[in-house]
Structure 1
Amino acid sequence: MNARVPVTKPKVDLTFVLAPILEVPDVQHAMVITADGFFEAHSGMEAETAEKLSAVLASLLASARGTSHTYYGDGTVLRQVMVETYDGYAFVIPAGEGTYLAVFTGPGVAMDNVSYEMQKQVQTLGKAMGSPPRGDRGR
C-alpha cells in the first residue's frame, strides 16, 4: 500500500510556560508558534485569532530573517522581532529549533521585564519540548 499516513508528534501542554509571562503587568497574551505558521500553545485567545496570528508571525519571521541575512550575511542569527504600535507591542524570539515565543502587550509595558521573562521561559520551553532520554539500546 502506497498511502501516506500523516505522522504527528504528541502535543505537550505548554501553557505552564506562558503563565509567568502573563504575570508581567500589561502583558495581554502569549503564544508558542512554529516557523511554518502553527501554534503549539496560546494564553486563551480565540482559536481563530491564534491561527491567524501564527500564520502572520511566521511570515514576519521569514521577512526578518531575509532582511537580516541580506544585510548582515547568511550566518546571522535572528534574536528578536518587535512590532510597535500605538496600542502596544508584539515581541517574538526563537525558542528552539523552528519554534518561537510571541508576547503581545499594551503600550505601557516595561519592555525589559517582558524580555527578561521571555528569555527565562525559553529555557523552560526548551526543556519541556526536548525529547526524553532514550534507554540503553542493545543491553
Structure 2
Amino acid sequence: GARHAVLLGSHGLPRGATSGMGQDLADTISAAMTGIQAYSRATAQFVGDPDFQWRQTVIEFEHGWIFLIAAGDGAFLAASAAPDCDIDRFTARLADAVPSLAASGATGAGRSGDA
C-alpha cells in the first residue's frame, strides 16, 4: 500500500524521496508535512499532556493515509499509503526503516533508493 516517502531534515527541507517523485512535489510535500508535524506537536498542550515528546502522526484521508515518523535530531519521515493499507503494519515498517534512512544521510529528492 505504500505510495511515496520523503525524508525531511530538521530544517524542513527534503533529504531524500522515493524514486519517481519530482523535486517540485518533494518540496511541496516537505512544506506541508513540516506544518502538519508542527501542528501535531502543538496539539499536545491542547489535550493536556505536559510530558509530550512527538514520535508520530497518522492522518486518514478518503484518498489514503499520511504517516509522519520521527527520524532523530528533529528529522522525520513522511510517507503516504493507499486507503486500504494496514496502518499498524505500515507504521511498524516505517519505524523499522527510519534508523537506516537517517544513518545513510539520504540526499537528493527524486533519486532512486533515496528514501
TM-score (norm. length: structure 1): 0.68
2:27 to 35, 51, 54: 51
SS at match of 2:71: strand
Alignment correspondent of 1:34:
9
| Rounded Cα–Cα distance in structure 2 between residues aligned with 1:126 and 1:43 | 15
Greater Rg by CA: 1
Alignment partner of 1:115 is 2:114: no
Going from structure 1 to structure 2, the CA distance change for 1:79 and 1:116 (only over 3 Å counts) comes to same
Give the CA deviation at 1:72.
3.1
SS at match of 2:66: strand
Unaligned runs of 5+ in 2: 106-115
* Count of aligned pairs: 104
Output one character per residue of 1:65-98: Cα deviation in whole Å (capped at 9) or x when no partner. Answer: 1111343344311121112111100000101111
Higher relative contact order (CA 8 A, sep 6+): 2
1:99 to 70, 75, 98: 75
Alignment partner of 1:80 is 2:59: no
| Rounded Cα–Cα distance in structure 2 between residues aligned with 1:106 and 1:41 | 21
1:127 to 97, 103, 108: 103
| Rounded Cα–Cα distance in structure 2 between residues aligned with 1:126 and 1:35 | 11
Output one character per residue of 1:5-59: Cα deviation in whole Å (capped at 9) or x when no partner. Answer: xxxxxxxxxxxxxxxxxxxxx1111110134321000002111011011011111
Alignment partner of 1:90 is 2:66: yes
SS at match of 2:60: strand
RMSD: 1.6
Identical columns (%): 24
Unaligned runs of 5+ in 1: 1-25, 130-139
Quick check: 1:27–1:104 contact (8 Å CA) kept in 2? yes
Give the CA deviation at 1:111.
1.0
